[in-house]
Structure 1
Amino acid sequence: MSKIIKGKAFVVGNDIDTDQIIPAEHLVYSLEDPEEKRFYGRYALSGVPDDKSGLPQGGIPFTDPDKFESEYSIIIGGKNFGCGSSREHAPFALQVAGAQAVVATGYARIFFRNAVDGGFIIPYESHDDLVENFSTGDEAEIDGELNIIKNHTTGKSYPLKKLGDVVDIVDAGGIFKYAAKHGMI
């Protein structure tokens, strides 16, 4: 299945942990109540310190303070994205904020599993450190069939690792929905 994702990139650094993705003080909102769960989008990536944000000091947030969705659909990260606790709220918050994919050089295993198993967000892995090749606000495009990400702002493309069934699992809404759809359960 081909998956094209286009949008603005939001760049963060290495070792972005789950408390930076969605700080613990914002875990008070219901995951089921539509009015409350949108706050996960408002506070997504709100704990990322300035030195890991890829932005100048006092840079712009992932989601504007008066909004619930971000203008950024692709997150560019470094190594060990999603480290820390096994908080399922982290990939959920990114999804609620409107992000469709994270592209990083590596993931904490638990974040990768939670992102895929819950059907929240596609965790692409890059061969290259893209933090140095993208800036926040660059127009980007991921081609899941060709396994590339293109920075339209610079005109350069970079290879991504193959994901196998990961995109299909996320598109199905998670591992259980995918298994049911394919007669596995």
Structure 2
Amino acid sequence: MEIKGKIWRFGDDIDTDVIIPGRYLKTFDPKDLAAHVLEGERLDFSSKVNKGDIILAGSNFGCGSSREQAPVAIKHSGVDAVVAKSFARIFYRNAINIGLPVIISDLEADEGDIIEINLEGGVIINNSTGKTFKIAPFKKFLLKILQDGGLVNHHLKEKE
């Protein structure tokens, strides 16, 4: 599975209340959630992010509550992956469960850089600098869950 996109940079400790503020949790509609994604950190993010873009963050991304709406809002905003130095464990699992790739890496990239991620090969290439970064290759069962669009879709396909 390969992902290519433009980087949006965020810092450390981006919590789920910043990803999708609690006042918007009156809905479960993914489009409504996406309209407010990360506005606690960058007010205009949802209006500027494009399909295929990638979030690059520091440590402890997704800390805070266990709300599944946080990765849902990110995924439905058009973001194809989140790369961070570390993730809160429940956010990491929630992201995989809904089909959003989350990659642990010390990737060096500036906002606007274009990167390519090869989840099977365990490599990230920063096309803007030419640097290559190694990551842990994703296990086949995780790749299948992501390719199927999340755990529920994967389970439904397995039952067919």
Q: Same fold (TM over 0.5)?
A: yes
Report the Cα distance in structure 2 between the residues aligned to 1:166 and 1:103, rounded to whole angstroms: 16
Q: Decide which of 1, 20, 35 is 1:42's aligned counterpart.
A: 35
Per-residue deviation, 1:6: 1.0
Per-residue deviation, 1:29: 2.8
The answer on 1:10 being equivalent to 2:8 is yes
Superposed, 1:23-172 pairs within 5 Å as 23-31=21-29, 37-48=30-41, 61-64=44-47, 70-71=49-50, 73-119=53-99, 121-126=100-105, 128=106, 130=107, 133-164=108-139, 165-172=141-148
The one-character-per-residue Cα deviations of 1:103-146 (angstroms, maximum 9, x if unpaired) are 11211111011111222x101111x2x3xx21111111111222
What RMSD in Å do the two structures reach over aligned CA positions?
2.0
Amino acid at match of 2:135: L
Partner of 1:175: 151
Report the Cα distance in structure 2 between the residues aligned to 1:168 and 1:83, rounded to whole angstroms: 26
| Total equivalences in the alignment | 158
Report the Cα distance in structure 1 between the residues aligned to 2:142 and 2:53, rounded to whole angstroms: 18
Q: Given the two structures, how large is their TM-score scaled by the length of structure 2?
A: 0.88
Q: Any gaps of 5 or more consecutive residues in structure 2? A: none
Amino acid at match of 2:143: V
Report the Cα distance in structure 2 between the residues aligned to 1:75 and 1:150, rounded to whole angstroms: 15
Identity, % of aligned pairs? 40
Amino acid at match of 1:63: S
